[in-house]
Amino acid sequence: MNKKWECYEIDEAQVNSLIEKYKLNSILAKILVNKGITEKEDIDLFVNPTRKDFYDPFLMPDMEITVNRILKAIEDKEKIIIYGDYDADGITSTTVLKNFLEERGLEVGTYIPNRLDEGYGLNKNAIKSIYDQGYRLIITVDCGISGTEEIEYANSLGIETLITDHHEPTEVLPNALAVVDAKRKDNKYPFNQLAGVGVVFKLIQAISIKLNLEEKEFLKYLDIVCIGTISDIVPLVDENRVIAKLGLKLIAQTKNIGLKALLEVIGFSNIDSSAISFGVAPRINACGRMGNEKVALDLFLSKDYAEAKKLAIRLNEYNIERQTIEKQIFDEAVQKVEANEKDKTCVIVGSKGWHHGIIGIVASKITDMYFKPSILVCFEDGEGKGSGRSIPGFDLHEALMKCEKHLEKFGGHSMAVGVTLKESEFESFKNELEEYAKENEIDKIQPVIKIDSELSLKDVSIDSVKSLSMLEPYGEANKMPLFLFKNLKINSIRALSEGKHLKLTLKEDNYMINAIGFNMGELSEKYLLDDKVDIVGNLDINVYNGNENVQIILKDIRKSY
């Protein structure tokens, strides 16, 4: 499908002002203007945030109540339990709070639900087990805001609950002792996009303030907080950017034995946001997806390097196993789509034997591949569990509401959903969702590539590309900048890695540049030497045999007109 290219409208006066005032190069100045960052104070905050840029944690709803209750538990030497989640955000949240509270002298247990048997969030069987172990105070991390029934059950057993979460609340808040969530309607906290581990960080900051502890007592956890924040794909702006920027510096010298062992096993030479997103996060999440969530938690809580190394290797093995299963499901799903679903506006396929901890990742890949909303369902004993992903401009959760008579239950948001349905209802559900999508003219939605600026090859130098590192860490709401180059002549073209990738040399006047298009190898047959092309891509420094050269990482290409 052809993608629509959209360039920002560049305010040249503001760009020139930034160049003159702050001695920035034109490429960096254009991107900052696009982001609305034009005042010195904002530039400093974006480029060099410090620990002074964190907000007052007591502005969060119920923070005072939560801190006071925890201080009482410390004073009375109560034993408490942290109820977390099986993904990277939940595991890091649990790690940070447990370690911090144990340093304050508390006896702290943990409970992470099993994704395959229990699913996400609080459940009554877990709460009963917690009660039977003698716990009377639960602190939730990265969950709890939707657990209204479960909190009432805990109350009936005489268990007090402190909720810390970052998900959207229901109309009525759970009847917990306190609910710390900046997405509450009565929230006064300046930023409501923290990850679950970000909320935990604010909690340990608040406790530290109350106890008059040195700042290092909570700041030292920023490496783990950073990992959970980047892994959870929250917007890397505002306070999340402060967490990520400061946290990445700490990761290089981390004192967490488990993290150190995992980084060694992964073997990334440069620890940046990409290393977290594509190296650390998938390995933590693989544990939860495969039903072995405790291994990831044990790794981050480990105090012994030999044990940590073994656990890190297991995380790696789970990730390899996850990748193998994922590829198998993906191949089967593509076969089903190509055989029967190619002309449909939505991709809805199901099969027996698919792993329901992994179908969500495959749904993302199917959606990316076809630019269509997709739902993959695995069937077992007459019941189907599914996971879906959408495209910008189509609210998949709203679509499910129109088809809910065919579903046992569903949840999620506009871009990602989970469903449970009877196998006998699958075809009816599929047909109704397809009709809804057609009525809403989903086929008219076109993928858009948002371009930061049009450049000429003469504008690009090693120094100007290196200056873009000031924009890191990249992530949600702070993507790696994309640039448009027009009317370049193909000087050389070939496919690499058995036809998988595309390698080009491009020329404009007397300027030459290399470009590589990952997974674009088939285009080597479409273009010829001396063809004129327009391209969109990221700028990168390629180091080979000690030599540095600028290269373009292709995102899209088309013939010039």
d(CA 521, CA 506): 16
What pLDDT shows up at residue 88?
96
Q: How many domains does the chain have?
A: 3
Q: Domain residues for 515? A: 4-35+450-559
- Tell me the pLDDT tens digit for each residue of 175-190: 999 999 999 999 999 9
Residues 426 and 361 in one domain: yes
Question: Among residues 176, 210, 238, which one ends one of the domains?
Answer: 238
Instruction: Give ∠ CA 115-419-278 in degrees, rounded to 5.
Output: 50
- Domain assignment present for residue 335? The answer is no
User: At 1, is the pLDDT very low, low, confident or very high (cuts 50, 70, 90)?
Assistant: low
- Tell me the pLDDT tens digit for each residue of 481-530: 999 999 999 999 999 999 999 999 999 999 999 999 999 999 999 999 99
Residues 381 and 511 in one domain: no
- Domain assignment present for residue 45? The answer is no
E strand segments, 225-322: none
Residues 439 and 505 in one domain: no
Residues 61 and 203 in one domain: yes
Residues 115 and 66 in one domain: yes
d(CA 332, CA 283): 24
Please count the other Cβ atoms lying within 10 Å of the Cβ belonging to residue 526. Answer: 12
Q: What is the mean pLDDT of residues 233-255?
A: 95
d(CA 550, CA 460): 8
Q: Is the pLDDT of residue 549 over 70?
A: yes
Torsion of CA 427, 429, 434, 435, to 10 degrees: 110
**Residue whose C-alpha is closest to residue 360's, from 308, 310, 426, 286:** 286
What pLDDT shows up at residue 544?
84
Question: Among residues 182, 210, 238, which one ends one of the domains?
Answer: 238
Is 162 buried (19+), middle (13-18) or exposed (0-12) by CB count in 10 A?
buried
Question: What burial letters (b/e) apply to 90-114, b meaning 16+ CB within 10 Å?
Answer: bbbbbbbbbbbbeebebebebbbbe
CB distance 124 to 150 below 8 Å = yes
Report the CATH number that the domain containing residue 195 is assigned in CATH.
3.90.1640.30
- Find all residues with CB under 8 Å of 318, minimum gap 6, and list them: 283, 286, 287, 290, 292, 295
The residue assigned the tokens 């609950």 is 161
User: At 546, is the pLDDT very low, low, confident or very high (cuts 50, 70, 90)?
Assistant: confident
Q: Which long-range contacts (CB under 8 A, 24 or more apart) does 166-169 make?
A: 166/142, 166/193, 166/194, 166/195, 166/196, 166/198, 166/199, 166/234, 167/143, 168/413, 169/145
What pLDDT shows up at residue 171?
85
* Cα 416 → chain centroid: 13
Question: Comparing 162 with 120, which gets the higher pLDDT?
Answer: 162
Residues 144 and 213 in one domain: yes
Residue type, position 350, single letter? G
- Domain assignment present for residue 154? The answer is yes
- Domain assignment present for residue 435? The answer is yes
Sign of CA dihedral 182, 476, 467, 534: negative
Residues 527 and 492 in one domain: yes
Q: Is the pLDDT of residue 445 over 70?
A: yes
- Domain assignment present for residue 256? The answer is no
Q: Output the 3-class SS for 41-68.
A: HHHHHHHCCCHHHCCCHHHCCCHHHHHH
What pLDDT shows up at residue 342?
84
What pLDDT shows up at residue 393?
92
- Tell me the pLDDT tens digit for each residue of 11-37: 999 999 999 998 899 999 999 999 999
Residue type, position 254, single letter? T
Q: What is the mean pLDDT of residues 200-205?
A: 98
> What count of Cα atoms within 13 Å lies in the side-chain half-sphere of residue 246?
20
Residues 201 and 65 in one domain: yes
Tokens for 80, please give them.
């408490």
Residues 133 and 196 in one domain: yes
Report the CATH number that the domain containing residue 385 is assigned in CATH.
3.10.310.30
Q: Is the pLDDT of residue 253 over 70?
A: yes
User: At 233, is the pLDDT very low, low, confident or very high (cuts 50, 70, 90)?
Assistant: confident
The residue assigned the tokens 């499908």 is 1
Residues 174 and 200 in one domain: yes
Q: What is the mean pLDDT of residues 371-385?
A: 95
**Residue whose C-alpha is closest to residue 466's, from 539, 417, 415, 560:** 539
CB distance 141 to 94 below 8 Å = yes
Report the CATH number that the domain containing residue 14 is assigned in CATH.
2.40.50.460
- Domain assignment present for residue 174? The answer is yes
- Find all residues with CB under 8 Å of 544, minimum gap 6, and list them: none
User: At 48, is the pLDDT very low, low, confident or very high (cuts 50, 70, 90)?
Assistant: very high
Sign of CA dihedral 62, 66, 69, 75: negative
- Domain assignment present for residue 277? The answer is no
Give the rounded percent of residues in the chain with a pLDDT score beyond 90: 89
Residues 385 and 500 in one domain: no
d(CA 327, CA 324): 5
CB distance 313 to 265 below 8 Å = yes
- Domain assignment present for residue 281? The answer is no
Three-state DSSP class for residue 199: helix
Q: How far is CA 468 from CA 75, 245, 453, in A?
A: 50, 15, 13
Question: What burial letters (b/e) apply to 314-328, b meaning 16+ CB within 10 Å?
Answer: bbbebbebbeebbee
Tokens for 131, please give them.
């009660």
d(CA 260, CA 541): 27
Question: Among residues 238, 255, 287, which one ends one of the domains?
Answer: 238
d(CA 88, CA 279): 12
Question: What burial letters (b/e) apply to 232-257, b meaning 16+ CB within 10 Å?
Answer: bebebbbbbbbbbbbbbebbeebebb
Residues 527 and 541 in one domain: yes
What pLDDT shows up at residue 503?
96
Q: Is the pLDDT of residue 96 over 90?
A: yes
What pLDDT shows up at residue 270?
84
- Tell me the pLDDT tens digit for each residue of 265-295: 999 878 899 999 999 999 999 999 999 999 9
d(CA 211, CA 221): 17
Calculate the average pLDDT of the chain: 95
- φ/ψ of 50, rounded to 5, equals -130, 175
